[in-house]
Chains A and B, each alone.
Chain A
């Protein structure tokens, strides 16, 4: 079973604040992903990484940024949160071919 962790699970924050969503995995997977999902809706890929120091933007444009300094860690940062950023953010990792998801962070920007 995959071990992938996301913190915080829930975050309510005011407009203009900087936030970082944490994602860590213990499987040593090279590939990691961030998805954005509105409740009950489809998942949209916003960032992915093939390994350390490798990051790419996904299919859905996002104002967030990511970094991959360590294999197990793939944080997502929003420099200035806005209400339009309210959503669920899901992190995933894979070796091949399936992806394993974390529990998600539910972000609400007021």
Chain B
């Protein structure tokens, strides 16, 4: 059972465009939703995260939009650059103790110059 579903699987955007990656979750007990960025040969790096008490969070060019009623959240990358080309993973966890993350399937993003 896939608890976090991520789409699209791959995405190609021109430089300056705004790629949007979507995730949907099933477990309403999830209360922490991070996004990770992974470059080839590297471990994932925490990019930005949101809790369900807010509908949007911005950090630099990265924005998370959160829709609690629809159980969906998305990552937007403003003014995308070729250096943003990477695989992006959404994730979710519940509770303040274990922080066992459930990851989405990943989106391979390519930003063309």
Taking Cβ atoms with an 8 Å cutoff, the residues of A that contact B are 6, 31, 33, 40-45, 48, 50, 58-59, 90, 92, 94, 96-104, 106
Contact = CB atoms under 8 A, between A and B. Distances in A.
A103 B46 CA distance: 13
Nearest to A35: B103
B41 to A, nearest CB: 8
A74 B107 CA distance: 29
Contacts of B62: none
B69 interface: no
Contact of A42 (B41, B96, B99, B103): B103
A97 B32 contact: yes
Given A40-B87, A42-B89, A31 B99 contact: yes
Interface in B27-63: 32, 34, 36, 41-46, 49
A58 B108 CA distance: 25
A82 B89 CA distance: 28
